[in-house]
């Protein structure tokens, strides 16, 4: 816009000589377009992993080809979103994600708080998806990203934590068996959720904590106070109930819930396949474990270990 004004001013002089303003306007517009387009592409690629969406990723391959031959290090927005785009679209994402993480370390100096929150969320979502596909070695890394983001308030929106940030931090802490930290976190940060989101988040996450501590009555007491206002609470709660029924040998309740939950997952079209599949795999393997655990222990152990999209893999192995 500034270069546009400069060019308009130059044209009023009616001078027949070269002036750089028009070239500057075109060049800056290219940078503006590229940075915005890359950001939108990353957002669409990231979001379609969470909700069913048919985004049209126009110019994706053309941009990747063009930017592969350009020097982009001097433009932070293009550099960071380009590496993220490669991490989201290339078959081997590791080097691109590492480059993205390195750029993220210095991003706070050049990006506003709102964009820093988005960039951190991209990093977290990427690692969470890898964990969902079986890369458990990244659990500690994700929790570190969350804690860093919350403590610096980068991941807070108008001073609030979202219920999903809250739930994910609890789940990661439980996976690392940091039970005391989880209880302290729930106590210290529940007030950071918006008022109408606090009750469900409080009871769901404490139910999960008490389940991991094998205090099943306490878990069920909190579980029964969850209103299930969101599909992800619904999915998580069903898995938690299945595990409690299995561990307390409530066989009739377990068999009934396995059947109804499997049908729900198969028929529900609002949950993306990438989210639905780990739950379906869990239900099917738990049913096999319930029916044939002792007889097929070796086969089941191999199946659990070799199923990449499987929620609560460690729980199934522990039960086996």
Backbone φ and ψ for 285, nearest 5 degrees, come out as -70, -40
pLDDT computed for residue 284 by the predictor: 94
- Domain, as residue range, for 259: 230-320
Answer whether residue 95 is part of any domain.
no
pLDDT in tens, 44-93: 999 998 777 889 999 999 999 999 999 898 999 999 999 999 999 999 99
* pTM of the model as a whole: 0.71
Nearest to 149 by CA among 178, 101, 117, 191: 117
pLDDT in tens, 86-126: 999 999 999 999 999 999 988 988 999 999 999 999 999 99
With contact defined as beta carbons under 8 Å apart, do 114 and 99 qualify? no
Element (DSSP H or E) covering residue 199: helix 198-212
Confidence band (pLDDT; 50, 70, 90) for 296? confident
Answer whether residue 292 is part of any domain.
yes
Answer whether residue 311 is part of any domain.
yes
What gap in Å lies between CA 242 and CA 279, rounded to an integer? 11
Confidence band (pLDDT; 50, 70, 90) for 279? very high
In a 3-state reduction of DSSP, which class is residue 124?
Answer: helix
pLDDT in tens, 166-187: 998 998 999 899 999 999 999 9
What gap in Å lies between CA 307 and CA 8, rounded to an integer? 63
Most confidently predicted of 38-42, 140-144, 149-153: 38-42
What gap in Å lies between CA 251 and CA 289, rounded to an integer? 12
For 83, 114, 124, 127, the CA distances from 100, given in Å and listed in that order, are 5, 18, 12, 12
**What mean pLDDT comes out for the span 145-170?**
91
pLDDT in tens, 29-44: 999 999 999 999 999 9
pLDDT computed for residue 186 by the predictor: 97
With contact defined as beta carbons under 8 Å apart, do 243 and 212 qualify? no
Burial label for 296, CB within 10 Å (0-12, 13-18, 19+), is middle
Domains in the chain: how many in total? 1
Answer whether residue 137 is part of any domain.
no
Answer whether residue 253 is part of any domain.
yes
Answer whether residue 5 is part of any domain.
no
Answer whether residue 199 is part of any domain.
no
Res. 28: pLDDT tops 90:
yes
Confidence band (pLDDT; 50, 70, 90) for 16? confident
Answer whether residue 79 is part of any domain.
no
In the chain, what percentage of residues exceed pLDDT 90? 70
């Amino acid at each position: 816009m500034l270069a546009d004004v400069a060019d308009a001013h130059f044209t009023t002089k009616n001078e027949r000589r070269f002036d750089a303003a028009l070239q500057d306007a075109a060049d800056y517009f290219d940078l503006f377009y590229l940075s915005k387009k890359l950001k939108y592409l990353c957002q669409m690629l990231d979001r379609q992993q969470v909700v069913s969406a048919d985004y049209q990723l126009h110019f994706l391959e053309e941009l990747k080809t063009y930017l592969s031959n350009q020097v982009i290090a001097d433009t932070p927005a293009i550099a960071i979103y380009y590496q993220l785009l490669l991490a989201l679209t290339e078959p081997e994402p590791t080097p691109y994600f590492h480059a993205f993480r390195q750029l993220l370390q210095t991003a706070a100096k050049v990006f506003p708080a709102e964009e820093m929150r988005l960039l951190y969320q991209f990093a977290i979502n990427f690692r969470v998806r890898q964990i969902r596909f079986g890369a458990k070695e990244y659990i500690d890394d994700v929790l570190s990203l969350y804690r860093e983001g919350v403590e610096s308030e980068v991941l807070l929106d108008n001073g609030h934590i979202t219920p999903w940030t809250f739930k994910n931090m609890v789940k990661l802490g439980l996976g690392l068996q940091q039970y005391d930290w989880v209880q302290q976190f729930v106590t210290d940060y529940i007030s950071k959720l918006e008022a109408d989101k606090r009750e469900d988040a409080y009871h769901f996450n404490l139910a999960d904590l008490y389940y991991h501590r094998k205090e099943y009555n306490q878990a069920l007491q909190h579980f029964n106070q969850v209103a299930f206002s969101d599909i992800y609470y619904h999915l998580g709660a069903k898995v938690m109930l299945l595990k409690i029924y299995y561990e307390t040998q409530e066989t009739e309740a377990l068999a009934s819930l396995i059947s109804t939950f499997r049908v729900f997952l198969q028929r529900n079209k609002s949950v993306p396949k990438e989210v639905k599949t780990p739950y379906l795999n869990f239900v099917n393997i738990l049913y096999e474990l319930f029916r044939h655990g002792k007889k097929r222990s070796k086969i089941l152990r191999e199946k659990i270990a070799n199923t990449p999209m499987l929620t609560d893999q460690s729980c199934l192995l522990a039960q086996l």
